[in-house]
Structure 1
Amino acid sequence: MAAPLRRADQLADANGHIQNGNYQNPPRVKRQFRDPYGGWWDKQEKRNFGEPVHEDNEILGVFSPEQYTHVSSGKGFLHLGVFVAAFLSLCGVVSLYYPDKPSVPKAYVDGLEKELGGPNAVPACKAGEDKW
């Protein structure tokens, strides 16, 4: 199985592309970066009539996902860090000024000893009985 792969490697041209029946492979340029006012025959795809199509046309075309070049990764991480710091600061300020309880807790005359089954509470079952 290694022999066909080696043979394909030997057929590679000077640019490192495998020749595809002498089909001209244009340079790998994403259509997003072509001049939008370049007088293209197909204005939407930014392509001229008869222009050879790259073998990765579906990746390089206009309808492929746009390559994001507006912000560098370092600046993006800086923006993310500033957002996280601002959000945590806001949470800290809110926790300082937010009241602990919205109302006064309910007070019982004798406490909750009887309601929670303290020593003076009525037993649910007699001693030695199964609870179930």
Structure 2
Amino acid sequence: MIALHFTSPAVLSLFSPVHCFLPSLCISSTSKMLSQQLLTWRLPIAARYTVPRAFFSHARILAAAEVHDPLQNGNYENPPRVKRAFRDPYGGWWDQQEKRNFGEPVHEENEILGVFSPEQYTHVTARKGFFHLGVFVATFLGLCGVVSLSYPDKPSAPRTFPDGLEKELGGPNAAPVR
């Protein structure tokens, strides 16, 4: 039973015993389907368990390649981290929009420090912000206290019923309600 059903003679010649590039894929009368053969094909045992190892001569080369680079940026000169929006607009820049000169090294985080990055919020300091938050909380709680003292949730005189609804509540021998 032939598992491959190709009509092109060029494709069939690839899997013929003469031109077979993988011995397990050669066409035979008892062969499995091609997809099953590809899924079950393995490397030879020697190739599966061979692990590439560094030779002793490579150790000196690898040790020489290690360079002291604490920032891990290839010893790139990193200018100070200053947002471009805070630079002097009248500084005579080569690029007026980005406020930088020709040949000036670009910071590693240029996308954050550029002109089109979100604005740095410098209008209110942290101390003043916490003060405003405290004033808001105190005002809100004070308003809640004033409303709770003056809110009319009880009528001025409680409602009365004839005989205090004793008959409707089960009579004199009824179990008291908690």
TM-score band w.r.t. shorter chain: 0.5 to 0.7
Give the structure 1 partner of residue 101 of structure 2: 48
Say whether 1:73 aligns with 2:126: yes
Aligned-pair CA distance for 1:32: 2.4
Say whether 1:37 aligns with 2:90: yes
The AA in structure 1 aligned to 2:98 is: E
Aligned-pair CA distance for 1:50: 3.9
TM-score, normalised on structure 2? 0.44
Deviations 1:9-31 (A, max 9, x none): x1x3xxx65563x7543332221
Give the structure 1 partner of residue 78 of structure 2: 25
Alignment of 1:1-132 (within 5 A): 7-8=66-67, 10=68, 12=69, 17-18=71-72, 20=74, 24-100=77-153, 111=165, 114=168, 119=170
* Distance in 2, Cα, partners of 1:44 & 1:88: 48
**May I ask how many residue pairs the two structures share in their alignment?**
107
Q: Which has the higher helix share?
A: 2
* Distance in 2, Cα, partners of 1:72 & 1:51: 32
> Cα gap change, 1:96/1:119 in structure 2, threshold over 3 Å: closer, same or farther?
closer
> Cα gap change, 1:95/1:35 in structure 2, threshold over 3 Å: closer, same or farther?
same
What SS is found at the alignment partner of 2:135?
Answer: helix
TM-score, normalised on structure 1? 0.56
* Distance in 1, Cα, partners of 2:152 & 2:99: 61
The AA in structure 2 aligned to 1:73 is: A
* Distance in 1, Cα, partners of 2:84 & 2:165: 77
> Cα gap change, 1:119/1:32 in structure 2, threshold over 3 Å: closer, same or farther?
same
Query: Percent same amino acid among aligned pairs?
Result: 67
Question: Which protein, 1 or 2, shows the higher relative CO under an 8 Å CA cutoff with sep ≥ 6?
Answer: 1
